[in-house]
Amino acid sequence: MLAAVQSTPQRAAPGAAPTVRWFEDCDKSSLPEVGGKCASLGELIHAQVRVPPGFAVTTHGCTRFLREAGILPEIAGLLQGLPHDDIVRLEQASAAIRQMIESRPMAIELEDEIAEAYRRLALRCGLPAAPVAVRSSATAEDLPGASFAGQQDTFLWIRGADELLHHVRRCISSLYTARAIGYRQKMGFDHAQVAISVGVQKMANAFTAGVMFTVHPANGDRSVIVIDSNFGFGESVVSGEVTPDHFVVNKVTLDITERTISRKERCYTVDLKSQCSRAIDVPLERQTVQSLIDDEICELAWMGKQIEKHYGCPMDIEWAVDKDVPSGGNIFILQARPETVWSAKAKAASAAPAETSAMNYIVSGLLSGRRLG
């Protein structure tokens, strides 16, 4: 349950850049300080969208760790002259850099600031050692003309200050995956100019989760919203491990115009003994059960419309239905980013067949006597 306890941002020393910023203190102008994911979460909160609470370990905090640990010169040396298409050398450099980052301790003061923010978040959520999602949030994510999204790591259901600090370091190190290094080399991005922040967000104990597009990802039709869902955490949907349930919703009337219920054999959920996220087999009798009820589909589509209206462009959204929160307020938005495939293809989107347009759907409904909305 999300309690209404107010959290007070960490106070940095006078003149010093903050190490921690709460999501509600962020917006799109905060991207250089908290990266794309965390800036977007702050923007959603300001737009009155339901988002689990959390905070960002800022780019200043992450760079401070690398600087105080003496790692930056070593990283620069390993990346010097590295060819973008030499997979073996990229993997070797990545492994060396990541091991270096993950094994170095943080300064006590920096650890204390992050741990105190986590304590305040747990107090706010009314949970001891509140489970959190720890997400990398790079400053170059979601930039026009570049595809950095998905190159860094996310860790689910992390509990306790020690585990949190360990996974913060793992997120920082994921700035230097072989894929990310090679992409920056190929695109000519200066490694020193691509900073990383780490988002720490109260974990939604998802009964169902998935993704939503406010444009049809297959044909660019902007008159519909497309929702894919599976039981448990959204990792199985995002990673493509399962064929999810698939729903197409008319963006004007919020009627469900297409419904495909798939056989969902795997899902991710929390192991209550180990308190870790793990993949499990979905019981046979549930595999072909619809993972979202119709009311939840319509509410999600309505939220998608509001998010698209706020951003002014088609959106790619991750969401979850929290089973620990009463229905009516249990759908949460976990991430939202501009959709990158069809957004630049306005002509293709507007060229969708007339019979699939929102207006034609409304007219045909009126002619057939079907109630709309």
What pLDDT sits at residue 274? 85
Does residue 166 surpass a pLDDT of 50?
Answer: yes
**Average pLDDT along the chain:** 87
Does residue 84 surpass a pLDDT of 60?
Answer: yes
- Domains observed in the chain: 20-202 (3.30.1490.20), 206-368 (3.30.470.20)
Does residue 100 surpass a pLDDT of 80?
Answer: yes
Helix extents (H) in 10-103: 31-46, 59-68, 72-79, 87-103
Instruction: Give whole-number Cα distances, 155 to 26, 125, 134, 164, 201, in Å.
Output: 22, 19, 5, 10, 11
pLDDT > 70 in the chain, percent: 84
- pTM for the full model? 0.84
Q: What gap in Å lies between CA 227 and CA 253, rounded to an integer?
A: 16
66's tokens: 């690398």
232 three-state secondary structure: strand
Give the residue-averaged pLDDT of 151-160. 86
- Taking only the tens place, the pLDDT of each residue in 289-328 is 999 999 999 999 999 999 999 999 999 999 999 999 998 8
- Taking only the tens place, the pLDDT of each residue in 13-33 is 455 789 999 999 999 999 999
Residue owning tokens 């507007």: 350
What pLDDT sits at residue 15? 53
Q: How many CB atoms lie within 10 A of CB 259?
A: 13
